[in-house]
Amino acid sequence: MIIHSDWHIHSEYSYDALNPLSLIAENAKEQGLRFVGITDHLNYNDGKFWRDLRASAEGVREAQKKYPFMMLGVELTPIAKPQFDYIKRTGTRLGYEAPTEGFPFAIALAASKEELTALGVRYVIGASHWRVDCPGASSLPVDRDACIGEWYRQQMYLANDERVTILGHPWYHGKGIWYENFDVIPQGMKDDLAAALKENGKYVECNAHFFQTAKATETFRHQYAKYLRGMFEMGIPVTYGSDAHNGYADDRPIVEKYLSAAGFRDGDIVGIDEKDLW
C-alpha cells in the first residue's frame, strides 16, 4: 500500500453527502487507515452553510471520543467577492444580482481563519469547483481557454492564500477540456502553480476522482499521475483524498495502480504534518 490516510471525506453534514461519521470511521478502521479527515463543504458565508459546518464540527468532536484518528477539516471553494460581500451584508444568497461590470470578479473564501479555528477546524482543503469570473460563467457553453484561465486564476489564489493547507483536486471538472489530454493546459500554468505551492509550503492532493470517473480518459489518468509525481519530486508533499460522499469503499487499489506506474512508492504519500495543523 502507498496510501495510509485519507484527508478529504464528506459526511452527512455536507449538503451533497450521506455518510454518518461512524460509517466512515468503522470502514477506515477496517481498511487500516491511520487518519481520516472530515472536510465538509463551506461554500458560502450564509446561514445554511455555517449551520452545516457547526454540525460537522460538533459531530466530529463527539466521534473523536471513540475514533481518535478522526480529524476536523473543511473544504472551501472560491466564490465571487461581490457575492461574498452581499451575503455578509444580508445574511442570505437570496436576491443577489451579480454586477454587470468589473470582470473578472475578485475571489473570496467563505470563512476567515479565526472563524474556522473557533470551531476547531485544523486544516483547509481549498479547491475550485466552478467559474466565478463573470455572471453566469459556470453555465456558459464551454470555452476551453476561458475555463483553463479561470481554473488557473482560482488555483493560484488558493496556492497563495494563508488559509489553505491542501490544494484539493487540482484541475478538476475538465470533461471535454483537459480530461481527454492533460497537455492542453499550458506547461507554464502548471509550473507557476507548482512554484506557488512550493513557495508557500502547501500540500497537493491526489484525489481519487480523477482515477475513477468515466469522464477522464486512460491517457489523462497517466498524465495526471505523472503531474503529481513531478510536484512530489519538487518537494511538494502529496496527500490522498477519497472525496467520498456516499458510502466509504476502499478506492486505493485503483488509485495506486496509476500512482505506482508514475513512480510513487510506499512512504511517498503523506499525512499533514503536526506543525501544519491549526
Nearer to Zn ion, 75 or 268 (CB): 75
**Among 238, 245, 233, residue whose Cα is nearest residue 270:** 238
Nearer to Zn ion, 80 or 127 (CB): 127
Shortest distance (Å) from residue 127 CB to Zn ion: 4
Shortest distance (Å) from residue 125 CB to Zn ion: 7
**Among 197, 276, 213, residue whose Cα is nearest residue 7:** 276
Dihedrals phi, psi of 24, to nearest 5 degrees: -60, -50
Give the Cα separation of 60 and 106 in Å (integer): 33
Helix (H, G, I), strand (E, B), or coil: what is residue 67? coil
Nearer to Zn ion, 241 or 271 (CB): 241
Burial of 225 (0-12, 13-18, 19+ CB in 10 A): buried
Residue 141: how many CB atoms within 10 A of its CB?
A: 4
Shortest distance (Å) from residue 168 CB to Zn ion: 5
Give the Cα separation of 262 and 82 in Å (integer): 42
Nearer to Zn ion, 86 or 211 (CB): 211
Q: Which three cell numbers stand for residue 111?
A: 470563512
Return the C-alpha torsion angle 224, 230, 231, 237, nearest 10. Answer: 100
Shortest distance (Å) from residue 10 CB to Zn ion: 6
Shortest distance (Å) from residue 65 CB to Zn ion: 25
Nearer to Zn ion, 73 or 82 (CB): 73
Nearer to Zn ion, 172 or 232 (CB): 172
Give the Cα separation of 278 and 267 in Å (integer): 24
Name the site residues for Zn ion (rule: CB under 5 A). Answer: 75, 127, 243
Return the C-alpha torsion angle 136, 8, 115, 113, nearest 10. Answer: -90
Shortest distance (Å) from residue 89 CB to Zn ion: 27
Nearer to Zn ion, 11 or 45 (CB): 11
Shortest distance (Å) from residue 267 CB to Zn ion: 25
